[in-house]
Structure 1
C-alpha cells in the first residue's frame, strides 16, 4: 500500500472535525490550614459560592473559599470576561498569597470527539497577569 492509499483509508475510517471546548464553569479557590471564609469574604468583597472551615471539608482539612462563575459560551469569550472580574481581586489575593494562602483558577469544560482547546493572546495575557495557577478539568461524558 502506498502513502496515498494509506491516507485515503485513514480518512474513510475517521470522521474528525475540530470543535471548541464548551465552557461549563470557572472557579477561583483559596485554601489554607487556618483560612476563615468570613474574613476572606470581607477582604475580597464577594460572597463565596461554597466554603468550608478548617477541618470540616470532606476532601481536605484546610479551610476553603471558592467563587464559581457559570458559563454558557465558547471558552475564550467567557474566559476574558471572568478573568477581568478576578483581576479586580488580584491585589487582595496577592496579599493573601504572601501570607501562605494557596490560590487556584479551575477551568471546567465539556469536550467531545475532536474538541480543541485554544486560548487567544488576550486570554493568555490576562491569565499571566493574574499570576494564579490554572487547572483544566474536562468532562468527556456523552450527554
Structure 2
C-alpha cells in the first residue's frame, strides 16, 4: 500500500492569525465557510476535488473537480458556493489552508469580484463585519 502524501507543503510565508481560533462551528448560516482541496485516486489517474462548506450546517455549497490542482479549481468551487447563496456573500468569513491555490492572485481576484472584501483578497479570508473573527490564511 502506497503511503499518502499531503498536497500542502510548508511555505516560507508567515502564517496569518487563526481568525476562527480553530473553532470550526458557526452560530448561523453564511457566517463561516471552509474551503479545502483533496486528491482522489481513480482508475484513470488522479482527480482533484475543491470544496466549500458552510460551517453552520456543514452543507456543501460549492465544488469543482479537475485533473490538475490549481487556482482555477478553487475559484470554480468558490463561484459555485457564491451562486448557491444567491451571489451575495458579504459578511462571510472564509477559512482555508495556506495552499498555493488559495494564496494565488487568481483566487484573490475572484474573491474581490465576488464582492468579498479586500481583507480576504490580501490574506485568504472574507470579512465585512467590523467585529468579525478572522481566518487562517496566506
TM-score interval, smaller chain: 0.3 to 0.5
Larger radius of gyration: 1
TM-score computed with the length of structure 1 as normaliser:
0.33
More strand by share: 1
**TM-score for both structures, normalised by structure 2:** 0.34
**Higher relative contact order (CA closer than 8 Å, sequence separation 6+):** 1
- Report the structure, 1 or 2, having the larger helix content: 1
